Every structure is written in C-alpha cells, then in structure tokens.
Amino acid sequence: KAGVTQTPRYLIKTRGQQVTLSCSPISGHRSVSWYQQTPGQGLQFLFEYFSETQRNKGNFPGRFSGRQFSNSRSEMNVSTLELGDSALYLCASSLDLTVQETQYFGPGTRLLVL
C-alpha cells in the first residue's frame, strides 16, 4: 500500500497570506490527524478528522482550520500567516478511532513564512 502523501512538500509564503496543505491517507484509513512541528515546541497536535467531522482539536488559534472529504483526504488551511507559523506540518492517518489504533505519518509539508 502507498503511504500517507502530503502536498506540497515545500512552500514559501509571506506574512498575511493564507495557505492550504493537502493530505491523502493510506488507502482504507478513515482518520486523519494534523501536527505542527517547530524546533522550539516539538510536535503539537492541531486536529483530527474522521468521517468528515472534526473529532479532536488542539490549542491553536482559529486561523488554523481543516476539513476532510468523503474520500478521507484532508486539507488544512492557515489564514493570515505569521512568521511563527513557519514549521513542518505533518499529517497522520489511522484506520479508525479505536484508541490504540496506530497513526502513520506522511513526509510533511515544510512551510516558510517570510
């Protein structure tokens, strides 16, 4: 099976712009989670989607949003970009919402905000 794919892999934006990142989960996986990784904060949970519904949300401002489509693909959007949004954005998929279900990560999208 193909793994989790994320597009684009690299992105450069300027402050105030918005950005949309895409994630395609492993075939058959219905849950998608998003994480932000920065050198200072490590990996931080953004949100999780299952069956097109947001199931969990981390402590990020409303500028960070996401959605999931009927084919389980997910997008996340960051509006009014700030310099501090520069980070590696990681998507992880799992089969369902079973607590012990393993999450598998994509390669990430590296966002640089100038």
Partner 1 sequence: DAKTTQPPSMDCAEGRAANLPCNHSTISGNEYVYWYRQIHSQGPQYIIHGLKNNETNEMASLIITEDRKSSTLILPHATLRDTAVYYCIVRDLAGNNRKLIWGLGTSLAVNP
Under the rule (CB under 8 A), what is the footprint of partner 1? Answer: 4, 33, 35, 42-45, 48, 56, 58, 88, 90, 92, 97, 99-108, 110
Separation of alpha carbons 104 and 91, rounded Å: 8
Nearest to 10 by CA among 86, 102, 96: 86
For partner 1, the closer of residues 18 and 56 by Cβ is 56
What's the min distance (Å) between Cβ of 87 and partner 1?
A: 11
Choose among 35, 34, 70, 26: nearest CA to 52.
Answer: 70
Cα dihedral 94/100/105/110 (nearest 10):
110
**Least separation in angstroms between CB 3 and partner 1:** 9
Our CB check for partner 1 shows the closer of 78 and 91 to be: 91
At closest approach, how far in Å is the CB of 57 from partner 1? 9
Nearer to partner 1, 66 or 106 (CB): 106
Residue 97 and residue 55 in contact, taking contact as beta carbons nearer than 8 Å:
yes
Considering the complex, what minimum distance in angstroms separates the CB of residue 102 from partner 1?
Answer: 5
